[in-house]
Amino acid sequence: MQSTLQKIIARFPERSFVVRSGSDTRYFVLKTWHQLFGVISFATLLLWTGVASVGFSWNHSARLTVEQQLATTIEENQAFIAQLESDQKNAYELRQAFDDEVQKNRQWSSRFEQIRSLSGGVLNEATPSNVAAFIPWFEGQLALRVRAVEQANEDLTELVMDMSESVAEISGHRPPESVETVGAWLTDVAGDLTEAYETQSRAMEVLHDSMTAALSKGFATIDGTPLADPEFAGFSPSFGTGGPSLEIASDHHVFERFQDR
């Protein structure tokens, strides 16, 4: 070890430097330890530079990795914030939809109570309070009422057709084919019946006048004749005993003119 150190020291003997400047001369002696110190300092500086370069490269690579991770983290945080905002918006919309559904359910419950109350009042029956039981009960009651209305319509149709056939027999017209044509048919028949009634009324008046004139010729006065009987007193062939005088107006329907006579 000492021989190696001595060999290294032997490579750095004392050296002298003479610097002349005109008539001035300077003499410098570079001793061994100065040389060793310079070499060691240079080697240390070189080693430190190498280590620092390697460390700088390592730190730079690590810094780039950290920056990349930081950028990735920032992107993930931004995506998380956007997702959180979207979730909050969806939660708000779901809350609004839930409130709307609750309001609709309240309205349907109120309408159900109204329908239930009205149904009970109309039918005079106790209605089920449960929706699942109320629906089949209401369907059954509705079916019964529909059948009752249909039966009433059938009975009314049969009655109208029977009356139409009776009027047809009296008037000599053919009866209507269906209940839909009864209105127009009655209008036509009513006109004919009115004309026949007015013709008969005029004929009865003529007959009454003729009989009165004939009886007046045979008797000096109407007293003592059948016409003086209270049953015939004030008799008018058109309107019956004690009826009003004949009034014919063209601006009124025949049944309006003769309905009270």
Domain ranges of the chain: 2-70, 129-175, 181-261
Q: Report the pLDDT value the prediction gives residue 223, as an integer from 0 to 100.
A: 52
15 close to 29: Cβ distance less than 8 angstroms: yes
Is pLDDT at 107 greater than 80 in this prediction? yes
Confidence of residue 181 (pLDDT cuts 50, 70, 90): confident
* Neighbour tally for 34: CB within 10 Å: 13
What is the overall mean pLDDT for the chain?
77
Is pLDDT at 82 greater than 90 in this prediction? yes
189 close to 169: Cβ distance less than 8 angstroms: no
Is pLDDT at 78 greater than 90 in this prediction? yes
Is pLDDT at 2 greater than 70 in this prediction? no
In DSSP terms, which residues pair with 30 in a beta bridge? 15
- Type and span of the H or E element at 88: helix 32-123
Higher pLDDT, 252 or 60: 60
What CA–CA distance (Å, rounded) separates 260 from 150? 34
**Half-sphere exposure (Cβ direction) of 79: Cα atoms closer than 13 Å:** 6
Q: Report the pLDDT value the prediction gives residue 241, as an integer from 0 to 100.
A: 43
Confidence of residue 94 (pLDDT cuts 50, 70, 90): very high
Q: Report the pLDDT value the prediction gives residue 102, as an integer from 0 to 100.
A: 94
**What are the tokens at 38?**
């310079």
28 close to 19: Cβ distance less than 8 angstroms: yes
Burial of 238 (0-12, 13-18, 19+ CB in 10 A): buried
What global pTM score does this model have? Answer: 0.36
261 close to 240: Cβ distance less than 8 angstroms: yes
What CA–CA distance (Å, rounded) separates 198 from 258? 10
Least confident segment among 62-71, 74-83, 230-239: 230-239
What secondary structure letter does DSSP report for 107?
Answer: H
SS3 250: coil
In DSSP terms, which residues pair with 29 in a beta bridge? 16
Higher pLDDT, 202 or 223: 202
**In 124-181, alpha helices (H):** 131-171
34 close to 16: Cβ distance less than 8 angstroms: no
Tell me which amino acid residue 231 is. Answer: E
**Selection from 158, 128, 152 nearest residue 140 by Cα:** 128
181 close to 164: Cβ distance less than 8 angstroms: no
Q: Per-residue pLDDT tens for 30-52?
A: 777 777 888 889 999 999 999 98
Q: Report the pLDDT value the prediction gives residue 256, as an integer from 0 to 100.
A: 41
**What are the tokens at 159?**
């009655």
What CA–CA distance (Å, rounded) separates 137 from 128? 8
Is pLDDT at 212 greater than 70 in this prediction? yes
